[in-house]
Amino acid sequence: MQYIVLDLEWNQALTRESMRRKGFTLVGEIIQIGAVRLDSVNGKADTIRLVIAPKYYKKIHWSVRKLTGISTKSLENGLTFPDAYAQFMDWCGENVTFLTWGPDDLPMLRDNLRLHNMSTQSLPASFDLQRIFARQIAGKKQQFSLSDAMEQLGIPQTIPAHDALNDALNTAEVCRKLDLEAGIAHYDDPFPQQKKSPADDDALPRTIYQSYAEMAQTEFESPSPCPACGNDLTLSKWVRRAPGKRITLATCMCGEKFILKVRWKIDDESDHVFATRMLEEATEEQIGAYQRALRAHRRTRHRKPKTQPISADKTAK
């Protein structure tokens, strides 16, 4: 039996609306596989690091880039996921067990296998070292970050975190300070519960305001960060699409274009306003629809000036 310490990095959709939902909701697409063989021969580190070009979430989300330093361009020459996985399993060899830090990597690996119509049957047993650490060292049932665990065990941070191989190397260092056999013997569930992904929760967050004016000021005027680069988006004029629904075109200096939508409802009894703000990657079709709505809006304004003040929306639900 050989232990493989595995770490994955993945990208996410630029917006919630552009998440791939065919068959299941794809929370992340793997862009790096890093792994360390725990019992290396001759004390030499036996490692692998594979870079994958994503097929669906090709543009790197700014928060992923900020965390990992991985850019969209740097993945262009990456392997396909099926090739990378085949190379990785080849390197692993027969009769292995996976060790990860935290419960997220294995569900992500399973999802990406399903995405490429690949079998998940061949996946070896896997154990979450975070749980073993929590029981043996911390004595608390709580999730500790890898850097917290390293600090607690006096392991110096010498290589940058949030690179799949570096994280696997650091996880292996933590593992060497744990009683792995005892941890596995007392491990109740070798397959950690598939965490409910945020994508499963389809209710969009709603904000409650005291008045229409307060909602309008916040929802129509506050800045939105670009999901591709993190800079503030430039908002065009808001146009009315339906009662209680307005959209605008949001552009970024990085070249990305989005449609920003605000929907709201006014509660009859309390007069409170419930609003939801949604950002979608703009298609040519949506940009066209926005421009037509803008022209229609201008014509209405020109014909009947000042008969449609903003507060008119208040009665129209």
Residue 63's alpha-carbon distances to 39, 129, 195, 199, 242, in angstroms, are 34, 25, 21, 17, 33
C-alpha angle with apex 30: 286 to 259, nearest 5 degrees?
15
Q: Does 226 bind Zn ion (CB under 5 A)?
A: yes
Q: Does 64 bind Zn ion (CB under 5 A)?
A: no
**247 vs 252, beta carbon nearer Zn ion:** 252
* Of residues 315, 215, 204, 188, the one with CA closest to residue 273: 215
Among residues 228, 262, 273, 279, the one that binds Zn ion under rule CB under 5 A: 228
Among residues 99, 229, 260, 282, the one that binds Zn ion under rule CB under 5 A: 229
User: Is 16 exposed, middle or buried, given 0-12, 13-18 or 19+ CB atoms closer than 10 A?
Assistant: middle
Among residues 165, 252, 259, 260, the one that binds Zn ion under rule CB under 5 A: 252
Q: How far is the CB of 261 from Zn ion (least distance, A)?
A: 18
> Strand, helix or coil at 2?
strand
Residues in the chain: 317
Q: Does 146 bind Zn ion (CB under 5 A)?
A: no
Q: Does 26 bind Zn ion (CB under 5 A)?
A: no
Q: Does 254 bind Zn ion (CB under 5 A)?
A: yes
Q: How far is the CB of 13 from Zn ion (least distance, A)?
A: 15
Sorted by sequence, the CB contacts under 8 Å of residue 169 that are 6+ apart come out as: 5, 34, 36, 45, 47, 159
Tokens 């490429």 sit on residue: 116
Q: Does 232 bind Zn ion (CB under 5 A)?
A: no
Q: Count interface residues toward Zn ion (CB under 5 A).
A: 6
Per-residue tokens: 275: 């609003």
**148 vs 281, beta carbon nearer Zn ion:** 281
Binding segment for Zn ion among 145-153, 240-248, 254-262, 269-277 (CB under 5 A)?
254-262
**Site residues (vs Zn ion, CB under 5 A):** 226, 228-229, 252, 254, 256
